Amino acid sequence: MKQHIIFIAFVLIFLGGCGKKDASTEVEGEVKTEQAEEHGEEAPQTIASLTEEQMKAVGITLGKIEMKELTSTIKANGALRVPNNNKATVTSMYGGIIKTLNVQIGDFVRKGQVIASISNPEYIQLQEQYLTVKSRIAFAEQEYRRQKELFDNDAGAKKNLQSSDAELKTLKTQRSSLQRQLQIMGINPANISNGNLRSGLVITSPISGTISTISAQIGSYVDISSPVAEIIDNGSLHLDLQVFEKDLPKMRVGQIVHFKLTNNPETEYDAKIYSIGSSFENDSKTISVHCSVTGNKSGLIDGMNITGIVSLDKSTTPAVPNEAIVEADSKYYIFIKTNKKAEEHHEEEGEHLNEKKIPEKEEKMTNFEKIEVVKGSSDMGYTAITTVNEISANAEVVIKGAFFVNAKLSNSGEHEH
């Protein structure tokens, strides 16, 4: 009986020891699991907290996501062009030596304005021929009248009358030809006399426009094959956009194009589509879309390369100001005011759980949550957005100062680690 009691007591002691060991093991396992969770990878911080003073300092402004009528766009490259019928090469119809040049590159000239003067002794010979023909016509007319009078009185042969008539007609033809040549040269035949023969001619502008090139100089010889200058009428400047095949169905006559110069993107210009090409440009697989430049044309020159934005159909969509969107890790975000709080982090290892903290002075904080969005078209300072996750329709969005909120969030993330 005594031995039986001792056996039971031993069993109870053994079971109690095992229970303590199992409990200890279980507690240690829980502690290790918690420590593993604490030391594992933390989710990226999405809540930024700012004080009222910080918000005032950087000028943070809140607003709502608005419904805006934005225009979707297509981006295309192109160049400025002047039609060939608004360009002119200034040449001389007759060869000669340049005596004066009255223009410089960049000068504006009007149609008929004198560009240069040339000289050649051969011009005198042409005027001499004209005066000679005029004198011969006067004599031929007298001879014709004499022969006709003789013929009418049966005193002259018909053959002589016909000969004098042919001679008169030939001389009149020569006179008409010489008159036309002199007019082309800029000489008025009525002003030609024996004491007023000109050895010089003037070259005039065939169109109104700006002098773009001067090819001659004083003393050089020019003729119809050697240009003196080139003139461009930039007032008829138009824009040729190169649009890819996939975007062609979206093009319409009358659409507005906003464009900037590739080498000077500070100024924006406007144009309107008036014609769409029907064939590909070389091997580029692009089609020319022709646009007339409207409004300001100052500083625009034939041949300049441009980058254009074609405005397509308008649509009403949720949108925020452009500066409300920030970019991070190739994604786009906005910040909305939230009641959520940033995650609280555990004390560093080695600190006692029962250690009392010194209370800090509490400041009124405003929390902002980082929300991922997908950007749409931009127009008039607003950008269409689609939120990845649904948010409240009354959410207050940081419409000004989002960059600083994002910087605060990034700094908070760095300190946490």
Cα distance between residue 190 and residue 113, in whole Å: 22
Which pLDDT belongs to residue 97? 92
- List the Cα angle 69/269/272 in 5-degree steps: 65
What per-residue confidence (pLDDT) applies to 389? 86
Q: What are the strands of the beta sheet with 114-119, ordered from one edge? A: 200-204, 114-119, 96-101, 221-222
Q: Give the Cα-Cα-Cα angle 174, 180, 186 (nearest 5 degrees).
A: 135
Task: Report how far apart the first and last C-alpha atoms of the chain are (Å, whole number).
Answer: 68
The sign of the CA dihedral 243, 247, 249, 250 is negative
Over the chain (417 residues), the average pLDDT of each successive run of 10 is 41 41 44 44 73 88 86 84 90 89 93 91 86 90 86 78 89 91 84 83 90 92 90 88 86 88 85 87 80 86 88 80 88 90 51 44 79 83 86 88 87 56
CA atoms of 367 and 401, how far apart (whole Å) = 14
Residue whose C-alpha is closest to residue 323's, from 334, 312, 339 = 334
> What's the farthest any 2 CA atoms get from each other in the chain?
194
> What is the rounded radius of gyration, in angstroms, for the C-alpha atoms of the chain?
47
Are 202 and 113 spatial neighbours (Cβ–Cβ below 8 Å)? no
The predicted structure's pLDDT at residue 362: 59
The HSE-up count of residue 133 (CA atoms within 13 Å, CB side) is 21
What are the φ and ψ backbone dihedral angles of 357, each rounded to 5 degrees?
Answer: -95, 150
Token readout for 204 is: 């005039």
Question: Backbone phi, then psi, for 181, in 5-degree steps?
Answer: -60, -40
Helix (H) or strand (E) holding 140: helix 122-152
Element (H, E) at 289: strand 286-294
What's residue 343's pLDDT? 61
Rounded CA separation 377/258 (Å): 14
Listed in order, strand segments (DSSP E) in 112-204 are 114-119, 200-204
Residue 121, token pair as written in the block: 């002794």
* Cβ atoms within 10 Å of 8's Cβ, excluding its own: 9
Residue 53 sits at φ, ψ, to 5 deg, of -65, -40
Q: What is the DSSP letter of 201?
A: E
* Per-residue pLDDT, 334: 92
Between CA 368 and CA 346 the distance in angstroms is 22
Quote the pLDDT of residue 195: 80
The per-residue pLDDT for 170 is 92
Please choose, from the candidates 269, 275, 265, 279, the residue with its C-alpha nearest in 3D space to the C-alpha of residue 240: 275
Alpha carbon distance 226, 15 (integer Å): 119
Instruction: Report DSSP state, residue 75.
Output: E
Burial of 283 (0-12, 13-18, 19+ CB in 10 A): exposed
Task: Please give the model's pTM, rounded to 2 decimal places.
Answer: 0.52
Q: How far apart are CA 256 and CA 295, in angstroms?
A: 12
